[in-house]
Structures are given as C-alpha cells and as structure tokens.
Amino acid sequence: MHYSSYPLLGVLLQETDPNDYLIPGGLLLAGVAALFIMMQRSTTKIQEQRRVLLEEARDEADRIRKESRQETQDWAKQQRADVQQHQREFREEAKESEKQLSKREDGLERRMALLSKKESGLQAEETNLTNRKNRMDTRETELDEVIDQERENLERIADMTREEARVSLVEKMQSDVEHEGDMLIQRMVERVKETVDSRARDILATTLQRLSSGYCQESTVTSIEIASDDMKGRIIGREGRNIRAFEKATGVDVIVDDSPGVITLSCFDPIRREMGGRSLNKLLQDGRIHPSRIEEVVAESKKTLNEEIQKAGVQVSFDLDLPGVHPKLVTMLGRLKYRTSYGQNVLSHSVECAQICGMIAAEFGLDQDLAKRCGLFHDIGKAVDHQYEGGHPEIGATILKRYDEAKEVVNSAASHHNDVPQLSIYAVLTQAADSISGSRPGARGESLDRYVERLEKLEGLVNSFAGVSNAQAIQAGREVRVFVNAHKVSDKKAVRLAHEVAKQIEEQLTYPGEIKVTLIRETRVVEYAR
C-alpha cells in the first residue's frame, strides 16, 4: 500500500513506532482494512457532494446567465424604444419649427410686398404734393399780383392812401375783436351762472336758514346819567382830587360839562371805558365818593370785569364746541365783548361768522371745526389793535401764529380784507361769512353823514364811466342801478361795462358786505300823432 493515496493513514503509520507498541498482526490488518473501508466511503460521499455542488453551481450559473441575458435584452429593447421615441419627438418638433419658419417667411414676404406697395404709393403722393406745391406757388404769385392791382384800384377809387386804408382796416378789425370779446364774456358769464349761481344760492340759503342770531346793538358806555347836577361837584371833589383819583385809577378821561344830567367818559380802550363806567355807577349808587373809596370800587370793578371777560371767552368756546383754545385767546375773545365795529358787537359778529363758516363747510364736506376756528378768530386783532401799530388783520395773524393756531386760521385772519393773498378755501369762506354777517339788515349802524358820503362816492364813481347816463344807489347803498345810453353801449358791451363798474367799486370804495350792480339799457321811441 502506498501512503500517498491515503495521506491520513500515512501520517498515522509514520507517527507510530512499531517498537513502542506491540500489536498482533491480524488485529492490525483488520484495523487497517476497516480504516480503509471507512476512508473509501468518506471519499465516495465527498465526491458525490462535490458532484452535486458542481451541478447546483452549474445550474445556478445557467440561471443567472439566462436572467442576465434576459435583463440585457429587456434593457436594450427599452433603450431602443426610448431612442425611437426621442427621434419621433425630435422629428415632430423639427416639422413644427419648419412650419413656423415657413409661416414667418410667408408673413415677411407679405410685409415686404405691402411695404413695397406703400413705398410706391408714397413716392406717388410725394410727386403729387410737389406738383401741387408748384401749382400753389404759381397761384400765390398770381394772387399777389391781383391783390396789388386791386389795392391800387381801391386807392384810386376810394382816394385813400395805403396808410389810411391800413388804419381803417385795423379799426374795423379792432371793432370786430371787441364784439367777439363781448360775446365771449357774455357766454362765459352765462355758463358760470348756470353752474355756480344756483349751487351758491342753495348753500347760502341753507346756511342762513339754519342760522339764528339776534341783532341787539351793543355799544360801549360813553356817558353816565346822574340824578342831579349836584353830583358833578361831588364827583369832582375838593380842588378836583376825586376826579383826578378816578382818572388815575381807571385811565379814563372824565368830561364834566354843562350838559344836564350827563357825565361823559372818554377813552380809546373799550375795556377801560367799561370799567370806568361800572365804577362810576357804583360810586353814584353808594354815595361815598373819595379817593380811597374810588380805589376800592375800581379794584372791585376790574376784578369783576376780568372774570366776566374770561367767562365770556370760555362760554363762546363751549357754545361752538371748540376744545383746545389757548387761554390767552380765550381772554381776547372775552375782550371782544366790549368792542364794537360799525355799531356791531365784535364778539357777536365773530360767533356768527364761526357759525356761518361751519355750516358752509358742512355743505362742502370740509372740516367744520377748522372752518369755525377761522371764522371765530378772524377779528381777534381788534381785541388789542389799540395797543399795537398796524391793522387788525395783521395783528390778529401775528397773535394766532404766536399761539400755534393752524396755518389756515392764520391766513384767514390776515386775508379777510384782502391785505394778503388767500391760500386756502377756508380763507374764502371766512371772507364770505364776514361779508354776510356785516351786510345783513340791522347788523351794523352808520352815521348819516358817512352814509350820505358813501352813496355820493358810489354814484360819482359809476357816473364817471363813458356811456353812463345816470346812476342811482338804492337799498342803503347795497345796490346801484346804472342807466346807459343805448346808442353808445350795445347789448354785448353792456356785459363788459357792468363787470368794469363792479371791479372799480371793489378797488376804490370801502363798504360793508357787497354791492349789486344792475345795468339797464333800453331804447325808447317817441312819436306824436297829430
């Protein structure tokens, strides 16, 4: 037996020393035979397993090879289908692009043809225009020659020089222009009346209907009635000490003359004059007239008057619902209670203006509180105008600016007599309310002399216009009737003449409210039947 065929047995026999073990020969042979049989069986089993494994591996490899081939075929088929799909889409896009390009080419060809046609037409028109221009130039030259000939003929026939004809033509053109201007002015006036007059009348009517105001004339006290002339001596006092003490304490001049039952107080400050009148009335009622008593009564009257002034200002602010009025302005409003203008109490006038402004602002959809402040403070300068230089609009604007009133309020006070330009609609409302309050019947008084003087100036100004035959002031100077010569003033020119008369009245005369100008043109034909 060769050990190379059975490695395990060879190793076992090589490691066994026969000298070390004494084994009987038969037993040894039997063991070897059994071992050989076992090894033969093991080898056969291993070979069988190897064959089975090889077959399984070969089957698995075939299966994997088949699956791999199938997947490869499927992938190749899918790729081929995708490529074909992309090719179809590309061909469709190429066809669509080709169609669009074809359409664009057709459109461009049509446009080119149209442009060529238009260009040909323009060239033809240009040729026609050139020909017409040449013909017009020829005709213009011929016309100039005809005009020169006609001018010479007219000068020869009319016995007028060229300069005389030009002057005549200019006068005729000027007359035509004036006529057209008069017609244009009349049309504009009618258009404005149609759109504005009705609306303004409605607003003012609504405002005046809502306004309820009394017209009790209030004047500052200038004279004091006394029971008897004996009181004059007591008022003067020994060597005039009482009257000097009274004048020093009040700042009012006391005039004691021969007028029976009257003592006159004179002072430019209405507050001081009011305080002097109250003090003197208290002294006359009390009967105790001496320097110390005079000082006490004047102090009491001054305190009471200041309280009434402050109360009057607060009451006005409360009645008009105007919060946030500066305390200084409240005091000045109270001082206006003792100030008059044209016989009209300035505080009552200011309150009435505030109410009118607020109502008109409500009609126009404006800020009513701001409008009422503009109307209330427009004459605030009259509270201190005797203490400062300048007119009350300028003084009032300075005061309102100092106490941080709104710019609309400041401008309304400064511009309500047109001293400065009006910068807002509230200034226009204030001026309108001021005119309405001052021009309403019974609002203001006026002396007879000044009344007559004002009417004479009004009539004289109107009579100074060319074409006016007579002028009559009626309704206390609130309307003037203008009678014109019908042969000198036409219907068209009458409109412009009325406008010029109203403009000159505004510029040259001073008057409360507004003056209505009514121009009358009539033609009278008189004939006698004998």
Q: How far apart are CA 73 and CA 67, in angstroms?
A: 10
CA-only gyration radius of the chain, Å: 61
What single DSSP character describes residue 472? E
Burial of 383 (0-12, 13-18, 19+ CB in 10 A): buried
Sole residue written with tokens 């060769």: 2
| Edge-to-edge order in the sheet of strand 253-255 | 223-225, 262-266, 253-255
Q: How far apart are CA 380 and CA 313, in angstroms?
A: 12
The tens-digit pLDDT sequence of the chain (530 residues) is 444 444 544 544 454 455 544 445 677 788 878 888 888 888 888 888 888 888 888 888 888 888 888 888 888 888 888 888 888 888 898 888 888 888 888 888 888 888 888 888 888 888 888 888 888 888 888 888 888 887 777 666 666 666 776 777 777 777 777 777 777 777 777 776 666 656 665 665 555 555 544 444 344 445 777 777 777 777 787 888 877 888 888 888 877 777 777 777 777 777 788 888 888 888 888 778 788 888 888 888 888 888 888 888 888 888 888 888 888 888 888 888 878 776 678 888 888 888 888 888 888 888 888 888 898 888 888 888 667 777 788 888 888 888 888 888 888 888 888 778 888 888 888 888 888 777 654 445 445 566 678 888 888 888 988 888 888 888 667 788 989 888 888 887 888 888 888 888 888 887 766 788 888 887 777 677 76
Q: How far apart are CA 322 and CA 325, in angstroms?
A: 7
Helical (H) or strand (E) element with 211: none
Helical (H) or strand (E) element with 224: strand 223-225
What single DSSP character describes residue 238? G
Question: CA dihedral in degrees (414, 420, 423, 428; nearest 10)?
Answer: 70
Non-local CB neighbours of 386 within 8 Å, separated by 6+ positions: 268, 269
**225: number of Cβ within 10 Å:** 9
What single DSSP character describes residue 195? I
pTM, whole model, 2 decimals? 0.46
Which three-class secondary structure state does DSSP give residue 388?
coil
What single DSSP character describes residue 419? S
Position 32, amino acid: V
**211: number of Cβ within 10 Å:** 16
- φ, ψ of residue 521 to 5 degrees: the values are -125, 120
Non-local CB neighbours of 385 within 8 Å, separated by 6+ positions: 391, 392, 395
